[in-house]
Amino acid sequence: MQAQHRVMKASIAWFFFIFAPALCAKPVILSIGDSLTFGLGVPPEQTWPQLVQNKLQADGMKDAKVINGGSSGATTAVGLSTLKFHLKRSKPDLIIYALGANDGLRAIDTATTYKNISQAIDEIQKAGIKVLLFGMKAPPNYGEKFPKDFEKIYSRVASEKKIPLVPFFLEGVAGDPSLNQADGIHPNPKGYEKIVTKIYPVIKGQL
Amino acid sequence: MLFRYMLKELRNGPRFALLFILNMSLGLLGFISLDALKRNFDDRLQDSARTLLGADLSISARRPLSENETKIALESLPRGTKSQTTVSLYTMAATGDQSSLVELRSIDDPYPYYGDIILEHSPSHRNAPPLSTSPSLWIAPELAMKLSLKQGSEVTIGTQKFRIADLIKEDTASSIGAGMAPRIYMSRKWLESTGLMAKGNTATHSMLYEIPSEASIETSRIALKTAIPDASIRVRSYQESGQDNGRMLGYLSDYLGLVALVAFSLAGIGAAYLYRDYFERRSSSIAILISLGLTHNKALLLYLFQVCFLGIISAIISSLLALGLIPSLMVLLKDFSPVSFNAYLPWQTVVLAIVIGAIGSVFICLPMLQRLRYLKPALLFHEQSTETDGLKARGLIAYIPLLLAFYGLSIWQAHSLQVGSLFFGMSVLVVLIFAGIAWCFLTAARSFSRSRILPLRLGAMFLRAHPSSTLSAFIAIGLGSTLINLIPQLQSSLLRELDNPAGQKLPSFFLFDIQEDQVNELQQLLTTLNSKPQTTSPMIMARLTRVNDQDFSRDHDEKSDVETREAEREQSSRNRGVNLSYRSELAKGESIDAGQFFKGIHTGDSPGEVSLETNYASRLKIKLGDLLTFDVQGLEVKAIVTSLRQVKWNTFEPNFFIVLQPGIIDDAPKTFLMNIPDLPADRKIPTQLAIVKAFPNVSVIDVTALVAKITSIVEQMALVLNVMAYLTSFTGMLVIYSIAQHQALARRWDHNLLKILGAEFPVLLKASAIEFVSISGLASLVGAAIGLITSYAIAKMVFKGVWHAQFALPIYLSLGLVSLCLVTAMGATIRILGSKPELQIEA
């Protein structure tokens, strides 16, 4: 019990120390996502959250901070706990929800994915934070029905919760070998640059 | 003329010729058997590895390979190379309202080049109707169970309907590693008709190659890599496909090399000992021949020819014996092994034996034979030979060819400069140590030569009367004991590495992506299913950003521009992210290599502690005391490396390269991994379906086939280790027997003289026993100790610290060796004492 108390105290102190710069920054954007947000295979400075932060700072928002909350392999199931973890410590100005690619690749039942995204968006809205939803598609080799059902999840959540949506996060990048790494799934630095040129105006519009 | 005289010489010393041939034959028989077994095991393991890839080489990419690329690739490979295409992808299989994710592999005939797909209604897919004749599939049984399918059922893949042609019983051609979904096979002919290959698909396109047997796989792999510089195309050889066991296979190969060397060394020790004695006895006869006009060079040639002849005869005899022995050995092994072995004697082994028999014998005997060139007829008038300093120096030079040949053979047999050099260096050191101890032993024997106890006095006198003979017997027995002890110690260490910890059960399922709030509910569900997870481990995804405050995303030793496929892969792997876990104690199958595991729970703002897997740390050039900085969800976490761990990967538990001290990141977003042990076959699919139904986000991977495959390879390895250790011990014992036998016979003149002078039979027997027990006892014990130390050094340097000594073993082996020497020597002494003394002296 005493040990638990010590751990809790230390964690609070530690996270305040870590979060101090983020708390002073304006605006703060939290990006929750998977390996596409984490930037698997590329250095941290070439991931899309970092590129967006650079652009915001170049556009005059010198204190802008984009927190990279991406985890490789994450599905929408982990979205809620990730969200709670961050919201316990800070209140960002905008949360970008970019989970779901792994649900699509693992063909997780679309009702489950819808429920997970929906609950996470409710939690964000309850906290009074703006949210931007990044849509995903399942690859065409998953047949006809599943990719269609999967894609619909995002438009359904966006319309039900009345939140802005980027319909397909990898638009113009997916399927182009010159913009992806050897695995054909994860964008390379050029791919991330192209993604940012598309999503940046939408993000800036939400601030 | 020379040949005739050589034969006459051999007829004059039939006992020597017989013992030399017997000894060399036994040593070479051990060598040949071990070499043949090693080649057999190598072949088996190579075959197993080939079936994992289904080919010798492959190239694959997440895009279709262009015609030009496949043409260039084929042209870079040896003439006669066969190729075929496969396309693998994840897709949905649907029937009625139900659908399931499947791993689809579309293939051409004859897939695969190595391995087999055993079907429910056909012992091999090669005998089944081909999938290309109509839209049909072979499917994994778990899919059949999940979608209620059977042979003849219809299932839709994309836009095409397929008939289930058969169910897969065993897929020996599957690559090692468990897939995310059940596998189905279809002919590539029908792939386009499914409509799955639209732009943006995530299919993997592969070319499989079968290289002509005479061509080198490694050379072909390098040629293929050079011909296709595109980093998005992965080039793999079958040796790279089974990396899970790579470390153990590497150890096994080094071990087999050492065993072959030990067998050869044992034969060499025996031969050198026998020839030394023979040459000393023949010196007077040679001196007579030289005084009668035979030139020194001709005398040298005569004896070189003789030794070479004996070596070849020994090699031929041992090859003939091996021809009979190996098939019986293989038949015997069949009862113990899950795999069959080919009962043949490879021609390379026979050639090797003849070359080693002939040249090896010459090199072994050369240090003695070189004395011939300086032998003077005046020797006839000396009681004992006198060696000048010049002769001693030249004698040492004569060892150089032997040492060079032994060094070369060590490297060749060990397949490694490091292991070969280590073995050679240690052998030389051990000989020097034994020579030193033997000298001390002879000096100590002096104090017993005035003892009042007659047998003790006589025993000491026997030892000191022929110092060179005592010295060489001591060194030979000691070296034999060292080598006999070395192999079982290494065997015991490696077997421990292969063993699972006590109480460890093999898993049936791996569960991952379990959310924190699902852990308890899942455990409850498993309880209702009459099951229980063996381990539950938290997993946190992070990025290693800095090591000692240096950016980790790029290798600072490399050029900054990504120029090569390897450099690109290296940079990519540094940015793949790492999976962290935390716990307060070591997991089963883990041991600390360096440093100390965590001291309690971390508190405060200072960096916490982190433990790394030893090989992982060495790959990343991270050492104890380094400060690592992780990015966890945008937060910076610092930890100091306080321990390096050895992890047994064959425990089949969730293992982590990086484990953090509890209290550092416990509340970070995480998922959990579980493994469920040993489910009976009939409960597996219902359990899997129940978990997926209750927790749709949780992935359940059936690892039974994977575990069975790895377990089978591990069993083969354990079998190799055991058989080789027993054979080496047997070979060593035979060599020691021949040394003891000869040493006892060499004492016949002394024994008979004492008998004529009135010494009693029991006194002579006791004296002989004292002599042999003291030589063999001391040499065996020192040899056992050196064997133990050497096994530790080899384990540390070659097997990355895998050392688990058996301390009772040296005692048993020493007792065995002493008993063997004593019984052999006593038998020989009794025979000598039982014969007429005059006859022995006259001979």
Taking contacts as CB-CB distances below 8 angstroms, the residues of chain B near A19 are 635
Q: Could you tell me the CA-to-CA distances from B32 to B18, B39, B269, B486 in Å, in that order?
A: 20, 10, 17, 20
Per-residue pLDDT reduced to its tens digit, A77-103 = 888 889 988 888 888 999 999 999 999
Nearest to B105 by CA among A176, A141, A180: A141
Average pLDDT, stretch B322-347? Answer: 64
**Rg for chain B, CA atoms, rounded:** 34
The residue of chain B with its CA nearest to that of A72 is B541
Residues of chain A positioned with their CB less than 8 A from the CB of B633: 67-69, 71, 82, 85-86
pLDDT classification of A38: cutoffs 50, 70, 90: very high
Query: Confidence band (pLDDT; 50, 70, 90) for A21?
Result: very low
Beta-carbon contacts of B565 under 8 Å, excluding residues fewer than 6 positions away, are B225, B229, B231
DSSP A70-108: E-TT--GGGHHHHHHHHHTT---SEEEEE--HHHHHTT-
Q: Model-level pTM? A: 0.67
Does pLDDT of A154 surpass 90?
Answer: yes
Angle B513-B518-B519 (CA atoms, 0-180°, nearest 5)? 85
Which residues in chain B touch residue A13, judged by CB atoms under 8 angstroms apart? 605
Question: For residues B452 and B630, which has the higher predicted lDDT (pLDDT)?
Answer: B630
In SS3 terms, B270-312 reads as: HHHHHHHHHHHHHHHHHHHHHHCCCCHHHHHHHHHHHHHHHHH
Could you say which of B553, B605, B662 has the minimum Cβ distance to residue A44? B553
pLDDT of residue A68: 92
Is there a contact between A10 and B663 if contact means CB atoms under 8 Å apart?
yes
A87: number of CA atoms within 13 Å, CB side?
Answer: 19
Return the structure tokens found at B443: 């000096």
Residues B633-645, mean pLDDT to the nearest whole number:
90
Respond yes or no: is residue A35 known to be catalytic.
yes
pLDDT mean over B512-516 = 84
pLDDT of residue A147: 92
Q: Which residue in the list A34, A35, A81, A118 is annotated as catalytic?
A: A35
Which B-chain residues 205-244 have CB contacts (< 8 A) with chain A?
231-234
pLDDT for residue B567: 63
Q: What percent of chain B has pLDDT over 90?
A: 10
Domain range summary for chain A, segments of one domain joined by +: 22-205
Calculate helix-pair angle for B296-336, B704-746, nearest 10 degrees: 140
Q: pLDDT, tens digit, for every residue of B675-705?
A: 888 778 778 778 888 887 888 778 787 777 6
Which pLDDT tens digit goes with each residue over B435-482?
A: 899 888 888 888 877 777 878 888 888 777 777 778 877 887 888 888
Task: Give the gap in angstroms from C-alpha B554 to the nearest C-alpha of chain A.
Answer: 8
Nearest chain A CA: its distance from B232 CA (Å): 4
Domain limits, chain B: 1-56+243-415, 57-242, 417-500+737-834, 507-677
For residue A174, the chain B residue with the least C-alpha distance is B200
Instruction: Please write the tens of the pLDDT for every residue from B228-251.
Output: 888 788 888 887 655 444 555 666
Rounded Cα distance between A32 and A76, Å, is: 10
Contact list, B61 vs chain A (CB under 8 Å): 182, 184
Residue range B133-170, pLDDT digits in tens:
999 999 988 888 888 888 999 999 988 899 999 999 88
Res A36: pLDDT: 94
- Given B100, B195, B668, which is nearest A85 (Cβ)? B668
Looking at the complex, does the CB of residue B158 fall below 8 Å from at least one CB of chain A?
yes
CB A167 within 8 A of CB A154: yes
Burial status of residue B180 (CB atoms within 10 A of its CB: 0-12, 13-18, 19 or more) = middle
Q: Summarize the confidence of residues B219-229 as an average pLDDT.
A: 87
* Residues in chain B within 8 Å Cβ distance of A11: 663, 666-667
* Mean pLDDT for all residues in chain B: 79
Chain A residue with the nearest C-alpha to that of B694: A112
pLDDT band at B184 (very low <50, low <70, confident <90, very high): very high
Residue with the bigger pLDDT between B757 and B622: it is B622
Contact A77 B513 (CB under 8 A): yes
Surface of B (465-484) touching A: CB under 8 A: none
> Number of A:B CB contacts under 8 A?
172
> What's the gap in Å between the CA of A86 and the closest CA on chain B?
9
Considering the four listed CATH numbers 3.40.50.300, 3.60.9.10, 3.40.50.1110, 3.40.50.720, the one that applies to the domain covering A22-205 is 3.40.50.1110
**Per-residue pLDDT tens for B545-592?**
889 988 886 654 444 444 555 566 666 667 778 889 999 888 877 888
pLDDT at residue A14 greater than cutoff 60 = no
pLDDT for the residue B254:
67
